[in-house]
Structure 1
Amino acid sequence: MIYYGKQSINQKEIDAVVNVLKSDFLTQGPAIEKFEQKVAAYCGVKYAVAVTNATSALHIACLAAGLAKDDVLWTTPNTFVASANCARYCGAAVDFVDIDTDTYNMSVDQLETKLRNTNKKPKIVVPVHFSGQSCNMKRIYELAQEYNFTVLEDASHCIGGEYKNTKIGSCRYSDMTVFSFHPVKIITTGEGGMVLTNDDILYKNLQLFRNHGITRDESFLKGKADGPWYYQQINLGFNYRMTDMQAALGYSQMDRLDEFIIRRRYLADRYNELLKDLPLTLPYQHPDTNSSWHIYVVRLDLSKVKLNKKDIFYKMKTKGIILNVHYIPVHTQPYYQQLGFNMGDFPNSENYYAEAFTLPLYYSLTDEQQTNVVDVLKEVLENA
């Protein structure tokens, strides 16, 4: 069976986890800081805070930015629900900005129009770097300066990617960036996430919210410490700590990150060539970006294909190939419809969803397997 995504774990990485299991620390130990420092150095950013997953990373990033009741967060409908749910965890409202029809990222033109015509301005905007391709962060940053909102990059797909010749995660055009280390992402810690920032205050608050709101840092304490054991709870935080086993795996995977990216880019280029004559719209890449290619998404030309997407999924599965869809527009989910969103609110995202599906793409996918994927897809579409 060829799945749409798959982790790659080698013996060195297994040994790294085993070494932690034999050590004095399984959690809250030195592996965490080593992993954080390695990711920060790779991205060219001052600080990194490792957490349990990208959802908790988004949550503490919103808390650190002061998102609260009566505030609103804007993101894109074309994302996983976590990009919007993080606002709801803080008691804030959510609104959406429709996607660009080429990149499937947040449309900056629509963002600018919405900012100019909306009385309730966002406290936070979460641009999502879909599939590994950066949003137009320079323009979003310029709008943030004009309209005074925090920019939180959801780069869950994007570690190793580049924008304007700078690594995603540098926070050059944002206040914070979030990565995911889920097994189907570029590198993995099993489950895991990270928030990156250059801001000293945000960094300290991220650390607080990760660990129950508890600190031993004397600069935060009210009064003097009773002794070396002493801590205080400064705010209501959460237990979002990553384990040392996860961090050791992530640290070791970072040694292979560039290798992973090279292979993914090769496979994406190969798909572009193999698929060019099929009734599909292939992924567009903006010249300012260099995608990390977490996923490879195509769109059906429904005027030339009789089968619907569901039938294609079933037929591919019977041939041993598992497709996926990224994403069901968030505003169409029942929870968000209960909040007042409706079908038709964001037509670009809805039209995209009707046509899009995700092909297998991962480091260990062989050329032969990729050719098989394309041959089977061609057969299914030609017999439609």
Structure 2
Amino acid sequence: MTERFLPYGRQCIDEADIEAVTRALKSDYLTCGPEIDAFEREFEQVTGAAHAIACSNGTAALHLALAGLGVGAGDICIVPTITFVATANAVRYCGGEVVFADVDPATGLMTRATLADAMARAGGPVRAILPVHLGGQSCDMAAIADLARESGAAIVEDSCHAIGTRRAGGQVGDGKFCDAATFSFHPVKTIAAGEGGAITTNDGDLAERLRRLRSHGITRDTSEFIGDPDEPWRQELHALGWNYRLPDINAALLRSQLSKLERFAARRRELAAIYDRGFSRFDEHVRPVTRLPDQDPCWHLYVLRIDFEALGTTRIAVMNALRERGIGTQVHYIPVHTQKYYDDPATLPGAAEYYRTCLAIPLFVGMSDDEAHRVIRAVGDVTGLKAL
């Protein structure tokens, strides 16, 4: 095989990114320096939120958001079962209890109806709800927020897949429908920091709590000291926090990547449009996930729903055959409620159907149009379907 291997996701790093990191390495600060403040101000501008708080990764962002909102022992939180395990695990880090919500089998997303079902099964008041914007598409947050507010539950949008996604009346991360939104900058995401995360919120008090919690819970605000405020070395621990700080090196890379977000998002949309046109000519056994109205996703993943059984094959066979052709794929995700740690007996048919058919194919900024067409042809070859 002479054609290059196409993974399902890959970062896009250029000379400007390398120069940004080099600048940080040559500066006086490798961590807790000016790159963090600069990134946070820039991220506020990009998302439209009043406050942005950088942290070490997307999982830390979820944990901090829930802890900052006061989620504690025994508190019930609702998480869609189609997500990365971190969304549910963050609840458990706080001592909370997870009730898993089903999803729409056509999109993999939590809906108002699946949230209502989970709330009915919760057996008590719900402290927080964590909708997950899967693959770049946003949940219908107006409908979800309406139901959540009726119950008094906090909302943390897991937006790790959806930076740059626009939706009716705003965009993901602007805080219109939530108390906090969380982001990940892992290398396969739209913008990369190596590892990194962020939280956005419009609540100034929550933002201040989050900044303290990400740095052990320590305060340097002399007005709050119980000791001598004239001691120049004094810092006081007023609450238990964690070391979830983002180094300046990572923030420098992140700022450079953030400056290219619009270009990256446009390219992802172009590639998704090529796929849409190509797969629209296949029969009903191979289809992309259903699109929701009134939004313009920045696609993190391009997910096909393939009826492997109807095609007389298996997902394993298709993935292996595509890999032999130099095409990587992935499954997002095994329903979390079926994982050994959770072992939840809930019957969630929408999630089961989505999981049965989902397969993510290559989507990253560095792909060419020809490579997208190559993927379409390869899917047709290995499934036995040619474009109609």
What range describes the TM-score normalised by the shorter chain of this pair? over 0.9
Alignment equivalent of 2:361, drawn from 359, 362, 377:
359
Matched, 1:286 2:292: yes
Matched, 1:263 2:240: no
Name the residue aligned to 2:125: 121
Task: Give yes or no for contact 2:79–2:87 (8 Å, CA) kept in 1.
Answer: yes
Name the residue aligned to 1:233: 237
Task: Give yes or no for contact 1:155–1:177 (8 Å, CA) kept in 2.
Answer: yes
Matched, 1:310 2:316: yes
Name the residue aligned to 2:380: 378
Name the residue aligned to 2:174: 170
Q: Where does 1:34-73 land on structure 2 (aligned, <5 Å)?
A: 34-73=38-77
Q: Output the CA distance in 2 between the equivalents of 1:247 and 1:15.
A: 13
Alignment equivalent of 2:145, drawn from 126, 135, 141:
141
TM-score by length of 1: 0.96
Q: Where does 1:1-384 land on structure 2 (aligned, <5 Å)?
A: 1-116=5-120, 118-222=122-226, 224-278=228-282, 279-302=285-308, 304-337=310-343, 341-342=344-345, 345-382=347-384
**Per-residue CA shift, 1:61-112, capped at 9, x if unaligned?**
1100101102111110000000000011111111111002332210211212
CA shift, 1:383, in A, is 7.8
Q: Output the CA distance in 1 between the equivalents of 2:385 and 2:149.
A: 53
CA shift, 1:303, in A, is 5.2
CA shift, 1:208, in A, is 1.1
Q: Output the CA distance in 2 between the equivalents of 1:367 and 1:66.
A: 47
Q: Output the CA distance in 1 between the equivalents of 2:257 and 2:57.
A: 16
TM-score by length of 2: 0.95
Give SS of 1:362's match.
coil
Task: Give yes or no for contact 1:131–1:296 (8 Å, CA) kept in 2.
Answer: yes
**Per-residue CA shift, 1:8-65, capped at 9, x if unaligned?**
0110110010001001000000000100110111111111111110000000111001
Q: Output the CA distance in 2 between the equivalents of 1:291 and 1:266.
A: 11
Q: Output the CA distance in 2 between the equivalents of 1:220 and 1:327.
A: 45
**Per-residue CA shift, 1:181-203, capped at 9, x if unaligned?**
00000101010000111101110
CA shift, 1:118, in A, is 4.4
CA shift, 1:232, in A, is 0.5
Give SS of 2:327's match.
coil
Give SS of 1:17's match.
helix
Q: Mean Cα displacement is larger for which, 366-375 or 117-126?
A: 117-126
Q: Output the CA distance in 2 between the equivalents of 1:316 and 1:173.
A: 40
Give SS of 1:157's match.
coil
What fraction of aligned residue pairs are identical, expressed as a percent?
37
Q: Mean Cα displacement is larger for which, 62-71 or 270-279?
A: 270-279
Q: Mean Cα displacement is larger for which, 74-83 or 227-236?
A: 227-236
**Per-residue CA shift, 1:209-250, capped at 9, x if unaligned?**
100011102354335524232110111110010000100111
Q: Mean Cα displacement is larger for which, 13-22 or 140-149?
A: 140-149
Q: Output the CA distance in 2 between the equivalents of 1:171 and 1:24.
A: 34
Q: Mean Cα displacement is larger for which, 162-171 or 63-72?
A: 162-171
Q: Mean Cα displacement is larger for which, 9-18 or 96-105?
A: 96-105
Give SS of 1:369's match.
helix
User: Aligned residue pairs: how many?
Assistant: 380
Moved >6 Å (runs of 4+):
none
Task: Give yes or no for contact 1:220–1:234 (8 Å, CA) kept in 2.
Answer: no
Q: Mean Cα displacement is larger for which, 153-162 or 103-112?
A: 103-112
Q: Output the CA distance in 2 between the equivalents of 1:220 and 1:144.
A: 35
Q: Output the CA distance in 1 between the equivalents of 2:126 and 2:23.
A: 46
Q: Output the CA distance in 2 between the equivalents of 1:222 and 1:134.
A: 45
Question: AA paired with 1:141?
Answer: A
CA RMSD in angstroms, aligned pairs only: 1.5
Question: AA paired with 1:326?
Answer: H
**Structure 1 pair 14/60, CA: closer, same or farther in 2 (3 Å)?**
same
Q: Output the CA distance in 1 between the equivalents of 2:56 and 2:146.
A: 32
Give SS of 2:88's match.
helix
CA shift, 1:283, in A, is 2.1
Task: Give yes or no for contact 1:324–1:359 (8 Å, CA) kept in 2.
Answer: yes
